[in-house]
Amino acid sequence: MMNFLMVYGTTEGQTRKIAQFVSERIRVRNHGVTLIDATDPRIGDVKLRDYDGAIVAASLHVGRFQSAIEDFVRSRHDTLNGMRTVFLPVSLSAASEDADDIKGLEECIRRFTTDTAWKPGEIHNAAGAFRYTQYDFFKRWGMKLIAHQKGVSTDASHDLELTDWMALTRIADAFVATVEKARAHA
């Protein structure tokens, strides 16, 4: 049995949901996983050497990832760079086919990895969600405008998930298989 670390930063909850899903995929493969929010005070007690692999998931809002994720990665980039890792940026842009959206997402990821000095082994973008039911009036209005511009539902009576759960299943399973194979050859 191997142990994995799943650290996440979330603003509206979709990244937490994604992190829980990926953690469950790891457990299904009979491995241990520590799931922890980057804002949890216990994050400082996490010893990366106790893990065979680490996954960091963070949502992108207004061009930035959560400061707690940035702090965690920046303070541990040396160790992260020496182990098997995956970065899961979560954003609405990940669901877009617009070249400017994708270019903007790639620039945000580049800035994050440069600023933190982390070189993730893999990066897989995950689409987020429109959390209409959780937004205040002004944010709901702004998000509906974005949704309208992108041609997706603006029905604010329910949330709209854009996350591709099958793709996340493949990503999690492939990462675990890679770490299993590396351990077998060590």
Per-residue pLDDT at 182 = 87
Per-residue pLDDT of the chain (186 residues; tens, 9 = 90+): 999 999 999 988 899 999 999 999 999 999 999 999 999 999 999 999 999 999 999 998 878 999 999 999 999 999 999 999 999 999 877 766 778 878 989 999 999 999 999 999 999 999 876 565 775 666 655 655 665 666 666 665 666 676 889 999 999 999 999 999 988 887
Three-state SS for 135?
coil
Q: Walk me through the domains of the chain, giving residue ranges and CATH numbers.
A: 3-128+163-184 (3.40.50.360), 130-161 (no CATH)
Per-residue pLDDT at 185 = 83
Question: What is the pTM assigned to this prediction?
Answer: 0.86
> Residue 28: which H helix or E strand, with range?
helix 14-28
Are the C-beta atoms of 63 and 57 separated by less than 8 Å?
no
Per-residue pLDDT at 101 = 78
Tokens (6 digits) for 25: 């995929």
Per-residue pLDDT at 160 = 60
Where does residue 9 fall: left (phi above 0), alpha (psi -120 to 50 degrees), or beta otherwise?
Answer: beta
Tokens (6 digits) for 179: 């770490």
